[in-house]
Structure 1
Amino acid sequence: MAHRLLRRRAGALRALPPAGARRITAVLHSPPVRFAVHPASAAGHWLMAAHFLLSGCLFAHAIAELLLAVALVTTWRPERRGGARERSRTAASL
């Protein structure tokens, strides 16, 4: 894949001095760059992106659930728990 990049950018490499063009060519042919431009590692990139998307959704769900629990705890009023019958019974017994 790196050699295809070199073919496309051959005009840019020819414009450089020979020593600079050799350095860039050596970098493009190095194992890390060859691995990065390989189609299999591109599939790995998509898998990692999907992993981050799913973990982000899971994290957002957990945070939303925590915020809902905090909201319920802070707004809970025990006197409003019973229905109208229960309130009338407690009022009559006083």
Structure 2
Amino acid sequence: MDATTAKKPADCSYGSCASVAVIEALEQYSGIDPHDSEFRLYDVIAPDALDTLFSCQQTTGLSIEFDIDDVTVSISQANDDIQVRVIDPLK
């Protein structure tokens, strides 16, 4: 199992941290350039819904997973800290 982990960027607005962290983790894992790629997060999951879900203070301990192509993206939150892991189950 091979994994890449990213935390929420320090400079992101609180309402968009989850989707930004997912894109950064995918970028680190696969080397995609989110500004110069055919990949669009909203083709897989609704970024606004993801951001809303993880923007509530009552989501401490929240964890979700979803698949993108051949990898699994795992997002968890503890207090204000959002952590994203990209996992390739075949490695």
TM norm structure 2 = 0.29
Using CA pairs below 8 Å that are at least 6 residues apart, which structure has the higher relative contact order? 2
Higher Rg: 1
More strand by share: 2
TM norm structure 1 = 0.28
